[in-house]
Amino acid sequence: MNERQVGRLLRGVRSGRIAVSDAVARLRSLPFEDLGFAKVDTHRELRTGFPEAIYCAGKTPEQVTRIAQRIAKRHGVALATRCSYETYAALAEVLPDSVYHETARIVVIGKPPRPSARARPLAVVSAGTADLPVAEEAVVTAETMGCRVERIYDVGVAGLHRLLGHREALERARIIIVVAGMEGALASVVGGLVSAPVIAVPTSVGYGASFQGLAALLTMLNSCAAGVAVVNIDNGFGAGYFAALLARQERRR
């Protein structure tokens, strides 16, 4: 849809010939912005409720910066994942409101929506300290999408009493993200304790036979506790995004 067609559509809405709902449906399919090396999906927020996130791995700092400029200009907020400090430094020169979350390896540009103080929080649970980069990726993603998040860290099954010391926090959480490497058993344990949905994130933490997270992934997929869904290995971003979508659907009820 070009500018002339958009203008015709808006004039139709103004005159009453086109219903607002019909106009919104047409706008959902508007095209991307072609930068040559990337095609920025400028209308993803309209379709899904959140702008396109930038996966920085494999992109140069200059490429990330140009994409982030377009997204931040249109949406007021942008999220760049798996971001190195070098790329962050390039972003900060052009977009001074960039904030680098070093452990999560995420840059948040602009001002995300503030969560309601009355909203029940999400909980992000990690088995060990080595899982923190993935856990923090989930936290920052969910917070950027407007969720309140509580952290419950280093409560793996080797010392189960540590997890049980957080029963109240687990029970008040609306959604729980469980991040674990090694054998990945923590997700099943949490799933058997709570009524909230559990999103399990296997990490690549562990010795040789963990196969870079494959052992944890298979354990989580074979969870004997119902209500556990699993995302890909080390995919904290995917878990945080999915949790925020679930929370948004809950708010609409």
pLDDT digits (tens, 9 = 90+) for 114-163: 877 777 899 999 999 999 999 999 999 999 999 999 999 999 999 999 99
Residues (pLDDT < 50) of the chain are none
Where do the H-state alpha helices sit in 17-103?
Answer: 20-27, 44-48, 61-75, 85-94
Burial (CB < 10 A; 0-12, 13-18, 19+), residue 220, is buried
Q: What is the pLDDT of residue 115?
A: 77
Domain 122-251: which CATH number of 2.160.10.10, 3.30.365.10, 3.40.50.1970, 3.40.50.1460: 3.40.50.1970
Do residues 77 and 95 lie in contact, with contact meaning Cβ atoms separated by under 8 Å? no
Q: What is the pLDDT of residue 252?
A: 64
Q: What is the pTM of this model?
A: 0.86
pLDDT at site 99: 95
* pLDDT value, residue 41: 87
Check residue 8 and give its pLDDT. 82
Would you say the C-alpha torsion 245, 97, 88, 66 has a positive or negative sign? Answer: positive
Q: Where are the domains of the chain?
A: 32-110, 122-251
